[in-house]
């Protein structure tokens, strides 16, 4: 079998030609994230929401939607982290709507609905709604009128040698006879056929990997399933489950796209994953319904037509080999044609049902100035009753695309709320009903004006969804609405008129590298918001009372028997803020770690990741660990990596650097895999690997094999030691530092108090992280590379903290001789801003619409450098003793000697800062 060529030549997207003429920025400008339901909402990536029509609030993450036959009732399936629920919206026709949630309230009632995942169906009489139960492997039945639970249909069966004990039920469709229900089981790669009269399973049919969407033709003759999966992942065969520490693998087994990935390495217990372009992966399967709904001697699995959609892995797209596959996720049909949304390709494939041929891939790009850059994330798709229009939820640009099904041309776009997922047209063809998974965002989750509701302050619980209902615009109206969609997402500026006072640092023109910056160090931390660290800064938009990890704080343990007064928890963060530049308007695109670690490597999460994240965070980990279902290991949880299912078409940070001939080296990013084993003794690598997941080639080749990834038992001091040691071995006095170094310092995530290990308080982890960051910056600022260095520090997500502006607002620090001193930038920034700045510095093209459309970080820099180094500030030994934390690791780290060898201005700086803080507190 031929080895896939997923990495390739250095190329310039078509968009790069447009970049010479246009500078694209985020529309928010300097506005902070804010929710204005009846106006213009600013979301964390700096884009604007101005949805049409009426909005109805639902529980978080409505990834499923069904509309009653009469169009009067809409029901959503909400795959929120907590709770799982459905919302029943009645009275759409009369306008006298009522919204009922099952179960009621902010917490899941395990006796009512333990889990749900996208799939919904409602019978013709509007009496019963069927709900896919996700990992419960059950179809739940509820009364539409009362919300009372009517029972379940258990899909956990064994048929011959097929064991479906554990399943993950998702999308479903109900036949017109109101008797036959078709449900996909994602992790068993099966289509479940249920007789609703007997409540029995009549067939279990094979599908491709991770079936996601299902649909029937109007004549009920053909059924189609869209499969978003790539591989069937399996544990290594040479490991002993009872002795993982000795037998699990020390490093991921294979590179993505390699011969070893495809064929396996039998002698090392690595089974083959096969070809990502097989018809099991990224495909649509079509079935003759008569063969399994009526008694027949024919095998219902015979003559299943299997169609590849979108673009293949390795296929040249504008001279660039596609890294990720198409991700076909939702499907809708006429009697003759099938329309499927390709989440990674930004297109809709049109398939002739009779021949199985793809007749066209309809490009959904709303503006030619974006060129071939992806990021629309086509998700749900539906047809008008007369089949003349197709409507596609474009989750990436918060819009609905409209296609003329006769000409197969895009007619225009309609603005929606955040992340439209599923949509339906009312039976009269006059209105569109859209489920928007992220609604209007989270808003603040702390501060003097925040009033906590029953859902609490956790970001995942605050991300309410909304259903929008509006009249379908005419073609003439679509012209203006399309322009609104474009202006909500992108601001195009004449590049010749752009003011850039740091042009020698961050170039204005694309593909022209920086004159002064040659090396980038990208440091990721974990789960903090702006306010809880920098809320005390008088020059930033913060609330001091929320700065629990700031300066001069009272620190207590959970039992309340140990208290430290006047503690500086994260002094280096404040020291760096005084010496360099930070932002008080940086917002994570992510909610939690699972999507956060995708964003950190410039991979925007597709529909598979977004739905998988909510489901896996709210699911039962023990069930997944004990399952033998072939797709069990597709439920990744919070592991900080990307996987073949969510590789973007153009790939990630890793492929982009290699494709453009830029060297890199990685310390800890992207190698924390699902199913890994770790304990407190794994000071090197941080974890061992049990599942055969491939990793991106550059990551496999150019990562430290000793640096520990996420493992809260390991102090960040040890990570700093390892980074400094390996840096010195590789690059000191060799003048060969790579263009990009990635470094993970995750201990500000926090964990349980461990006094014996040197962490007597929650704040101890923050102090550990703060000291490690200070030490790393001091080290780097004293190397020969400092004069041409840019260091960016951020968080993977904000889920652990609270903030008075928005729960997504987080930390961004720009550290460089060219960073403005003691500067707080208030331009609206996102993860895309970081990568856009990287690509401008390196003189290479943009990777996707999220970096191309963000505002770069030029406001944080100056052409006038200050080359003086940074001197790290010590930790308050009362809350964190670095030597005690390092002792179990047999590492020699004498902070006292290190401290005494530094200049005395550190102590003076601390005294001055405390005096300034005392004066500030007295003034307020």
Q: Structural domains in the chain?
A: 31-232+280-489 (2.130.10.10), 494-604+648-923 (3.40.720.10)
pLDDT, residue 887, reads 86
The token pair that represents 293 in the structure block: 């709904």
Can you tell me the distance from the alpha carbon of 717 to that of 775, in angstroms, rounded to the nearest whole number? Answer: 9
Task: Give, for 611, the enclosing helix (H) or strand (E).
Answer: helix 607-618
pLDDT, residue 76, reads 98
Q: With contact defined as beta carbons under 8 Å apart, do 579 and 817 qualify?
A: no
Instruction: Tell me which DSSP letter residue 267 carries.
Output: G
Other Cβ atoms closer than 10 A to 137: 27
Other Cβ atoms closer than 10 A to 661: 10
Can you tell me the distance from the alpha carbon of 27 to that of 468, in angstroms, rounded to the nearest whole number? Answer: 23
Instruction: Tell me which DSSP letter residue 634 carries.
Output: G
The token pair that represents 397 in the structure block: 């640009």
Other Cβ atoms closer than 10 A to 211: 27
What are residue 78's DSSP bridge partners?
A: 62, 85
pLDDT, residue 915, reads 43
Radius of gyration of the CA atoms of the chain, in A: 27
Half-sphere exposure of 424 (CA within 13 A, CB side): 22
Can you tell me the distance from the alpha carbon of 120 to that of 183, in angstroms, rounded to the nearest whole number? Answer: 9
3-class secondary-structure state, position 685: coil
Can you tell me the distance from the alpha carbon of 790 to that of 737, in angstroms, rounded to the nearest whole number? Answer: 13
DSSP letters along 133-164, please? -BTT-EEEEEETTT--EEEEEE---EETTEE-
pLDDT, residue 636, reads 79
pLDDT, residue 296, reads 52
**Chain Cα centroid distance, residue 5:** 26
Can you tell me the distance from the alpha carbon of 119 to that of 108, in angstroms, rounded to the nearest whole number? Answer: 18
Positions of the chain with pLDDT under 70: 1-20, 81-83, 107-110, 293-301, 614-625, 892-924
Other Cβ atoms closer than 10 A to 244: 17
pLDDT, residue 147, reads 95
Other Cβ atoms closer than 10 A to 916: 13
Task: Give, for 132, the enclosing helix (H) or strand (E).
Answer: strand 128-132
**Nearest alpha-carbon partner for 64 in 144, 140, 142, 170:** 170
Provide the H-helix boundaries in 344-474: 459-462
Q: With contact defined as beta carbons under 8 Å apart, do 35 and 440 qualify?
A: yes
Exposure of 837 by Cβ count < 10 A (0-12 exposed, 13-18 middle, 19+ buried)?
buried
Contacts of 722 (CB under 8 A, 6+ apart): 667, 684, 704, 706, 707, 708
Classify the phi-psi angles of 631: left when phi > 0, otherwise alpha if psi is within -120 to 50, otherwise beta: alpha
Contacts of 920 (CB under 8 A, 6+ apart): 536, 538
What are residue 249's DSSP bridge partners?
A: 689
Q: How many residues would you count in the chain?
A: 924
pLDDT, residue 298, reads 54
* Phi, psi torsion values for 589, nearest 5 degrees: -70, -20
E strands present in 259-404:
283-288, 305-308, 316-317, 320-321, 328-333, 337-342, 347-352, 358-363, 378-383, 389-394, 399-404
Q: For 559-616, write each residue's pLDDT tens digit.
A: 999 999 999 999 999 999 999 999 999 999 999 888 999 999 999 999 999 998 766 6
Burial 327-342 (b: 16+ CB within 10 A, else e): bbbbbbbeeebbbbbb
pLDDT, residue 889, reads 78
Question: Does the N-terminal peptide bond of residue 798 adopt cis geometry, omega within 30 degrees of 0?
Answer: no
Can you tell me the distance from the alpha carbon of 840 to that of 657, in angstroms, rounded to the nearest whole number? Answer: 13
**Nearest alpha-carbon partner for 326 in 304, 347, 356:** 347
């Amino acid at each position: 079998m031929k080895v896939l060529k997923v990495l390739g030549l250095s190329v310039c997207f078509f968009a790069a030609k447009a970049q010479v003429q246009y500078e694209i920025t985020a529309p928010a400008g300097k506005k902070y994230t804010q929710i204005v339901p009846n106006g213009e909402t600013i979301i964390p990536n700096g884009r604007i929401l101005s949805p049409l029509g009426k909005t109805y609030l639902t529980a978080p993450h409505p990834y499923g939607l069904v509309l009653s036959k009469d169009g009067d009732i809409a029901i959503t399936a909400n795959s929120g982290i907590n709770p799982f629920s459905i919302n029943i919206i009645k009275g759409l026709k009369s306008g006298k709507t009522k919204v009922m949630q099952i179960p009621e309230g902010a917490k899941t009632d395990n006796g009512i609905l333990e889990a749900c995942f996208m799939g919904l169906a409602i019978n013709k009489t509007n009496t019963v709604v069927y709900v896919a139960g996700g990992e419960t492997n059950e179809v739940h039945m509820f009364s539409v009128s009362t919300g009372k639970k009517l029972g379940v249909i258990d899909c956990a069966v064994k048929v011959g040698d097929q064991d479906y004990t554990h399943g993950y039920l998702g999308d479903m469709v109900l036949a017109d006879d109101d008797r036959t229900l078709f449900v996909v089981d994602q992790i068993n790669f099966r289509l479940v056929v249920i007789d609703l009269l007997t409540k029995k399973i009549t067939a279990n049919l094979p599908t491709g990997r991770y079936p996601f969407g299902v649909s029937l033709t109007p004549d009920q003759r053909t059924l189609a399933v869209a499969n978003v999966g790539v591989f069937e992942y399996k544990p290594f065969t040479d490991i002993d489950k009872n002795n993982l520490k000795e037998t699990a693998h020390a490093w991921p087994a294979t590179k993505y796209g390699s011969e070893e990935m495809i064929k396996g390495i039998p002698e090392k217990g690595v089974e083959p994953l096969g070809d990502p372009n097989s018809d099991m992966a990224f495909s649509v399967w079509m079935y003759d319904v008569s063969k399994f709904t009526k008694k027949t001697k024919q095998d219902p699995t015979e003559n299943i037509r299997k169609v590849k959609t979108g673009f293949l892995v390795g296929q040249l797209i504008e001279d660039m080999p596609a890294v990720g596959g198409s991700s076909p996720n939702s499907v809708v049909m006429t009697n003759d044609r099938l329309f499927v949304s390709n989440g990674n390709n930004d297109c809709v494939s049109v398939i002739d049902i009779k021949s199985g041929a793809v007749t066209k891939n309809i490009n959904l790009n709303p503006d030619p100035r974006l060129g071939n850059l992806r990021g629309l994330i086509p998700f749900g798709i539906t047809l008008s009753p007369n089949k003349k229009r197709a409507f596609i939820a474009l989750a990436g640009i918060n819009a609905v695309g409209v296609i003329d099904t006769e000409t197969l041309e895009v007619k225009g776009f309609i603005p929606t709320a955040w992340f439209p997922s599923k949509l339906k047209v009312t039976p009269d063809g006059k209105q569109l009903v859209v489920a928007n998974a992220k609604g209007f965002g989270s808003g603040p989750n702390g501060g003097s004006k925040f009033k906590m509701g029953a859902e609490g302050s956790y970001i995942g619980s605050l991300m309410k969804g909304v259903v929008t209902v509006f009249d379908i615009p005419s073609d003439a109206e679509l012209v203006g609405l399309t322009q609104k969609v474009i202006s909500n997402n992108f601001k195009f500026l004449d590049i010749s008129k752009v003011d850039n006072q740091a042009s020698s640092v961050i170039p204005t023109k694309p593909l022209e590298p920086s004159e002064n910056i040659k090396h980038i160090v990208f440091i990721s931390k974990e789960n903090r918001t702006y306010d809880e660290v920098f809320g005390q800064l008088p020059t930033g938009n913060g609330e001091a009372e929320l700065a629990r990890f700031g300066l001069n704080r009272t620190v207590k343990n959970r039992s309340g028997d140990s208290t430290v007064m006047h503690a500086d928890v994260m002094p280096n963060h404040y020291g760096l803020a005084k010496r360099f530049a930070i932002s008080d308007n940086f917002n994570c695109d992510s909610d939690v770690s699972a999507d956060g670690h995708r964003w950190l490597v410039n991979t925007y999460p597709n529909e598979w990741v977004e739905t998988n994240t909510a489901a896996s965070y709210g699911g039962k980990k023990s069930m997944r660990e004990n399952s033998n279902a072939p797709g069990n290991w597709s439920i990744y949880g919070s592991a900080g990596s990307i996987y073949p299912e969510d590789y973007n078409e153009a790939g990630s940070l890793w492929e982009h650097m290699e494709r453009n001939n830029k060297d890199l080296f990685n310390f800890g990013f992207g190698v924390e895999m699902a199913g890994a084993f770790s304990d407190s003794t794994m000071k090197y690598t941080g974890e061992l690997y049990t599942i055969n997941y491939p990793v991106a080639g550059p990551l496999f080749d150019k990562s430290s094999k000793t640096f520990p990834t996420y493992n809260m038992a390991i102090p960040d001091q040890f990570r700093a030691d390892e980074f400094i040691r390996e840096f010195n071995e590789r690059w000191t006095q060799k003048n060969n530092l790579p263009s990009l170094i990635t470094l993970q310092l995750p201990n500000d995530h926090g964990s349980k108090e461990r006094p014996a290990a040197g962490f007597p308080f929650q704040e101890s982890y923050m102090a550990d992280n703060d000291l490690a960051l200070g030490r790393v910056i001091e080290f780097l600022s004293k190397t020969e590379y400092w004069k041409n260095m840019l260091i960016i520090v951020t968080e993977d997500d904000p889920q652990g903290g609270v903030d008075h502006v928005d729960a997504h607002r987080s930390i961004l620090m720009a550290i460089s001789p060219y960073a403005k001193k003691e500067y707080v930038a208030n331009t609206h920034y996102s993860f895309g801003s970081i990568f856009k700045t990287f690509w401008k510095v390196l003189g290479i093209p943009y990777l996707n619409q999220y970096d191309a459309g963000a505002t770069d970080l030029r406001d944080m820099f100056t052409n006038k450098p200050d080359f003086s180094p940074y001197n790290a500030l010590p930790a308050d030994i009362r809350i964190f003793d670095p030597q005690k934390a390092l002792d179990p690791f047999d590492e020699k780290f004498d902070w006292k000697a290190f401290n005494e060898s530094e200049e005395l201005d550190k102590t003076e700086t601390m005294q001055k800062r405390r005096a300034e803080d005392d004066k500030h507190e007295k003034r307020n």
